[in-house]
Chain A
Amino acid sequence: MQITINGVAADVADRITVAALVRDRVEGRPRVAVAVNAGVVPRSQWEATRLGPGDSIELLAATAGG
């Protein structure tokens, strides 16, 4: 199915969980945060949260700033 990850269209497995997406996309970077359709998905909900077609995902990590 088609979703958007960090503003870029992506093709992922149907009903993929947030946890699986993080494992696929940001391996080795445990300290990330995830928003789906601008809503915060707490880490404790990653396994239970399944994505749907057209969802917009933000995968965020630390960068220098401030």
Chain B
Amino acid sequence: MTTDQVVPAFEAEEAVDPFLLSGKTFTSRLLLGTGGVPSLEALERAVVASGTQLVTIALRRVETSTSTGLLEILNRCGVQLLPNTAGCMTAREAIRTAQLAREAFDTAWVKLEVIADEQTLLPDPIELLDAAEQLVADGFTVLPYTSDDPILARRLADAGCAAVMPLGSPIGSGLGIGNPHNIALIRELVSVPVILDAGIGTASDAALSMELGCDAVLLASAVTRARDPEQMALAMRHGVEAGRLAAGAGRIPRRWHAQASTSMQGRPDL
């Protein structure tokens, strides 16, 4: 290697800011869910536009004709599959779903969801922690969808989860980040990656997640239910990147009063 070798800026950038998750390196910090997508064609365009490398899927009874097409598209996009346990309400159900997904997709990674009820879709913390502990013991890479409770997040991290994924607001609500202080506190309390999951409505929400210190963002509805999923996917990609850069750049402190950016010195007498 010679000293005058030029490294393209974008490559250098990728090399200095990899996203490490359970021993794997990703360059994208946007995880995309596939739920709510209007068509497989729209999904493929959105996946490509988002630049994502990790995409969630669910396990359901063989009936839908979309199954084969869905996997073909995701395979073509070269993304890693992240099965979820969507709809599970007990640790027992979630564990079996994760084990079935491991058989179907040859992956021990799981987005662990254990919801309390269908109205709020909020995580059931007791069942969630129980399921997380058992799945970690069974060799899974557990990525739990959790509430924004910093103590629960810490318990999940202590249980051996590969990341914690606190919600910004309820699934599919698009309400953004209801309690930014909790998200920032979670980032302080755990050493595993923090992935903001659920509640993102638009690109500024994704940017804010990253500014609060999150390592990545997982979203679905905000893209799949947008009027133009492809364009929103691109917006989310830029939002995540902008927020990440801003978080690393060190924002100015908030001030109560104005501070002139132009010096008053040398002002002419007119």
Contact = CB atoms under 8 A, between A and B. Distances in A.
Interface of A: 6-7, 25-26, 28-29, 31-35, 38-43, 58-66
Given A34-B103, A66-B56, 18 more contacts: A26-B62, A33-B59, A33-B100, A33-B101, A33-B104, A35-B96, A35-B100, A40-B100, A60-B100, A61-B59, A62-B83, A63-B57, A63-B58, A64-B34, A64-B70, A65-B57, A65-B60, A66-B35
Q: Could you say which of B37, B62, B71 has the most chain A C-beta atoms within 10 Å of its C-beta?
A: B62
Interface of chain B: mostly helix, strand, loop or mixed: mixed
B100 A6 contact: no
Contacts, number: 98
Counting contact residues on chain B (CB < 8 A from A), the size range is: 35 or more
Contact of A64 (B35, B62, B83, B96): B35
B68 A64 contact: no
Interface of B: 33-37, 43, 56-64, 66-68, 70-71, 81-84, 86, 96, 99-101, 103-105, 111, 113, 220
A14 B220 CA distance: 44
A61 B103 CA distance: 10
B35 A62 contact: no
A50 to B, nearest CB: 18
A24 to B, nearest CB: 12
B58 A62 contact: yes
A7 to B, nearest CB: 7
